[in-house]
Amino acid sequence: DQQVKQNSPSLSVQEGRISILNCDYTNSMFDYFLWYKKYPAEGPTFLISISSIKDKNEDGRFTVFLNKSAKHLSLHIVPSQPGDSAVYFCAASEGGGTSYGKLTFGQGTILTVHP
């Protein structure tokens, strides 16, 4: 039972354009969502997060949008840069704002940004 799904295994984007990574979830108890970025041979690094009480969070080139009614979130990267090429994981927590260590992850999306 995959509670967090990233249906696109890969995404290819031209440098300077927008990258949009999508994530769907089924568990309505999730109240906090995170995006992690992972380079080969390294662990995931935290990128950006959003609480379920918000619908948008922005940090520089990265913006996460949350649509609770659709149980869908997306990560926008603009402008995309070659250094953004990595695997992006969507993760969710039902920690109630107190525990972000117990996460449910999606399968990941491989983003490739071409120069």
Cβ of residue 114: shortest distance to another protein, in angstroms? 24
Of 93, 104, 19, which Cα lies nearest the Cα of 63?
A: 19
Q: CA 19, CA 62: separation in Å to the nearest integer?
A: 10
Our finding on whether 51 is near another protein (CB under 8 A) is no
Of 81, 71, 83, which Cα lies nearest the Cα of 33?
A: 71
Counting every residue written for the chain, the total comes to 115
Our finding on whether 64 is near another protein (CB under 8 A) is no
Q: Which of 21, 34, 64, 66 binds another protein (CB under 8 A)?
A: 34
Contacting another protein within 71-100 (CB under 8 A):
89, 95, 97-100
Our finding on whether 17 is near another protein (CB under 8 A) is no
Cβ of residue 14: shortest distance to another protein, in angstroms? 27
